[in-house]
Amino acid sequence: MTKASTVTEAVMSRRSIRAFSDKPVPLDLIRQVMDTARWTPSGCNFQPWEGAVLTGAPLRELQALMAASPPQDPKEYSWSDPEVLPECLARLHQVGADMYAAMNIERADKKARGDFMAQNVVSFEAPAVLLAYFPRVMGPPQWSDVGMWLQTVMLLLREAGLDSCPQEFLSIHAKLIKNYLGVSDESHIFFCGIAIGYRDESDPVNSFDRKREPLDSKVKFLGFE
């Protein structure tokens, strides 16, 4: 995938990549992206985000630990509560149906679906992973700030010719991840991972048609002539 030359191009070419090539990600490129992302806005300039970027042996070691461990109980947090809204549940089902159809995996093929879901643990073979966490004292406004930081990171990755996949899934191993990184579970909450690398353009899971709601169903414009 070529580099994005405009913000619009970065937004439109960014998608959640679920099949990566084995091309390594240079440290200087990652450092440049993360350094620029420091300028993400945050309420009261709190800059609540913290993170670690892993590759190579440390990443493989952590992934092996997660693969050998059950999901933690209780959960770090719930990302599925909006499923009580029919429209949100319908969007979830739609993207899942489109994704599995692209891979020719039938709904009844539970093994194939389970094998693909298991790829979350190894971040779809991405060569690098950003692990994002922040102090527990931070409230909903700061969660939003962390989200803006992560979006900035993902758009800057596209500008650099890289791809990504945000992974709330990794929060099922939040305590294990924090322990591996030397981060206190008492003081910090783990939010998500961001798989980072170069997309495998030949894999259909990276090219199925994505759907978004029409603009006017989400945004109102008042007072314009």
CA-wise closest residue to 134 among 174, 106, 79, 85: 174
pLDDT at 213: 97
Give long-range contacts, CB 8 A cutoff, 24+ apart: 97-101: 98/208, 98/209, 98/210, 98/211, 99/18, 99/205, 99/208, 101/208
Residues 142-156: tens digit of each pLDDT = 999 999 999 999 999
Radius of gyration of the chain (CA): 18
Structural domains in the chain, sorted by start: 7-208 (3.40.109.10)
CA-wise closest residue to 100 among 84, 85, 111: 111
pLDDT at 1: 74
pLDDT at 47: 98
pLDDT at 58: 98
pLDDT at 93: 95
pLDDT at 2: 87
Instruction: For the chain, report the end-to-end CA distance as a whole number of angstroms.
Output: 41
pLDDT at 145: 98
Give pLDDT < 70 ranges for the chain: none
pLDDT at 43: 98
Residues 31-75: tens digit of each pLDDT = 999 999 999 999 999 999 999 999 999 999 999 999 999 999 999
pLDDT at 81: 95
Reported pTM: 0.96
pLDDT at 109: 92
In the three-class reduction of DSSP (H, G, I as helix; E, B as strand; rest coil), residue 20 is classed as strand
